[in-house]
Amino acid sequence: ILFLFMQLYHVLGQNEMLQKKKNAVLVDGVILNGPIMDSKAGEKFVEEACKIIMEEVIQKADDVTEKVCEWQAPETLKQILDLEMRDTGESHQKLLQLCRDVIQYSVKTSHPRFFNQLYAGIDYYSLVARFITEALNPSVYTYEVSPVFLLVEEAVIKKMIEFIGWEEGDGIFNPGGSVSNMYAMNLARYKFCPEIKEKGLSGLPRLVLFTSEECHYSMKKAASFLGIGTENVYFIKTDERGKMIPEELEKQVQRARKEGSAPFLVCATAGTTVLGAFDPLDKIADICEKHGLWLHVDASWGGSALISRKHCRLLHGIHRADSVAWNPHKMLLAGIQCCALLVKDNSGLLKKCYSAKAAYLFQQDKFYDVSYDTGDKSIQCSRRPDAFKFWLMWKALGTTGLEERVNRALALARYLVEEIKKREGFQLLLEVSKNGTELLLLLGRVAPIIKERMMKKGSMMLGYQPHQGKVNFFRQVVISPHVSREDMDFLLDEIELLAKDL
């Protein structure tokens, strides 16, 4: 083990300082004097690459005349990229060309016409925070190695809790909404029966949780990962807008009780992935209270509406939740990944549930207040300082600037709705009648063709999918503050153009 690690004991009573000049030292065939890196050449390489990033990515981010993507089939792209890692390294010139290629053939998710995912656009402030993070390469677990980022995370969590409406609480940034949902599920389970941490689920009655049939797929992944099992996720029916029906929830909870299983958790969704539905949190909270169930709200997508005084009513009742997942990397552009799991409990539940008390990291005899060492609240060891990007962006824009983004995104969506209603040949999914099934089936085959054409042209990107028995339709996501009414008009014109011979 001495090959990799040094352990040294320092012994008292050594008062003299030894300082000897030594000559070149050779150990195991390696010369150990001086560093082996050419720092100046390295710095120059970084500078040149930064220039490319600035010109090819950042300055083009608002340019609609640029392509959103430059489509290449996998086998062709493999040839272009020269993926092979070899014994000897490449020249800086070759590497810079590789960087250019990587940029050229990557999808420009910051392009104003990238509407494909629940993230889009560029925010200059969070981007700067991200560059700082990468350069500093921190890991957030102890105050001694991440003093700034731990304090920033604390401040951001406090502020997010204010917007949820809790008087106090706790939280942790983690790698995504899916992982946040897992955190919540495990926390609810721990609260339900703390012994599971040590004893596991073997021999216990079947734990059951409830979520709407429109929930994110991470609920199933979480139930499977946590050993609960996907069959023990009871999916609650939704109304025609995709919102959980509280009466159906009540029925399912009663069914679970009759079966002798152990209901412990309801996961409501604030902003479902496909339809953007907000579950009626207040009514769901009533049922949770009545039955003593933990209420988790997956507000990964919709949580950012809390920032808007106009639209926060969509999440009315969220203050009654026990935990909330909220991803500022989606509607607020904080950059992937920036996701918080927030918990109403302030009695240290998060730490009790997750701690493993590693002595090498969380020494209790440190010279500062070790309550700042929050790493033991996490399922991770190394953890990125994701709160920092949100913080710098918030400092830059202020709450009003963030609010403006949300209001504008929603106003643009409303504008598009009205335009679609006016246009012949377009229909809103939720207004389609059930008649004419054959035509609908035929229609379902149109979206993939339009999608293929738009990607090969590179003019925009927009997702399609089938959903709950309905055939393929386009799902338009509006987020970026670089998007304007003109892009909405373009979107409809371009779909028409791409489909004109179909």
Using CB under 8 A, which residues numbered 436 to 495 contact a second copy? 439, 442-443, 445-448, 450-452, 455, 461, 463-467, 472-478, 481-486, 488-489, 492-493, 495
| Spatial contact of 291 and 263, defined as CB atoms under 8 Å apart | yes
* Residue closer to a second copy, measured from CB, 189 or 344: 189
Write down the least CB distance from residue 289 to a second copy, Å.
26
* Residue closer to a second copy, measured from CB, 162 or 289: 162
Judged by CB under 8 A, the chain residues 95 through 124 that form the site for a second copy are 95, 98-99, 101-103, 105-110, 112, 116-117, 119, 122, 124
Interface with a second copy includes 81 (CB under 8 A)? yes
Judged by CB under 8 A, the chain residues 401 through 430 that form the site for a second copy are 401, 404-405, 407-417, 420, 423-430
Contacting residue, 286, 312, 372, 457, with a second copy by CB under 8 A = 372
* Residue closer to a second copy, measured from CB, 159 or 251: 159
Judged by CB under 8 A, the chain residues 305 through 334 that form the site for a second copy are 305, 310-311, 314, 329
Write down the least CB distance from residue 401 to a second copy, Å.
5
Write down the least CB distance from residue 291 to a second copy, Å.
20
Write down the least CB distance from residue 28 to a second copy, Å.
4
* Residue closer to a second copy, measured from CB, 289 or 314: 314
Interface with a second copy includes 171 (CB under 8 A)? no
Contacting residue, 169, 271, 280, 328, with a second copy by CB under 8 A = 271
Interface with a second copy includes 370 (CB under 8 A)? no
What is the C-alpha radius of gyration for the chain, rounded to an integer number of angstroms? 27
Contacts of 44 (CB under 8 A, 6+ apart): 92
* Residue closer to a second copy, measured from CB, 108 or 344: 108
* Residue closer to a second copy, measured from CB, 290 or 423: 423
Contacting residue, 66, 97, 144, 291, with a second copy by CB under 8 A = 144
Residue with tokens 């955190």, as numbered in its chain: 183
Give the distance from CA 183 to its chain's centroid: 14
457, with CB counted inside 10 A (0-12, 13-18, 19+), is middle
* Residue closer to a second copy, measured from CB, 67 or 290: 67
- CA torsion through residues 190, 192, 195, 201, sign: negative
Residues near a second copy (CB under 8 A), total: 256
Say how far apart CA 94 and CA 73 lie, in whole Å: 23
DSSP-assigned states of every residue in 290-351: HHT-EEEEE-TTGGGGGG-TTTGGGGTTGGG-SEEEE-TTSTT---S--EEEEES--SSHHH
Total residue count of the chain as it appears in this document: 502
* Residue closer to a second copy, measured from CB, 297 or 477: 477
Interface with a second copy includes 348 (CB under 8 A)? no
Q: CA distances (Å), 345 to each of 150, 161, 165, in order?
A: 20, 11, 13
Among 311, 304, 495, residue whose Cα is nearest residue 487: 495
Say how far apart CA 483 and CA 292 lie, in whole Å: 45
Judged by CB under 8 A, the chain residues 211 through 230 that form the site for a second copy are 216-218, 220-221, 223-230
Contacting residue, 166, 210, 234, 301, with a second copy by CB under 8 A = 301
Interface with a second copy includes 434 (CB under 8 A)? no
Contacting residue, 161, 172, 178, 306, with a second copy by CB under 8 A = 178
- Preceding omega of 337 cis (within 30 degrees of 0): yes
The 10 Å Cβ neighbour count of residue 299 is: 30
By DSSP bridging, strand 323-326 and strand 461-467 are unpaired
Amino acid present at 254: Q
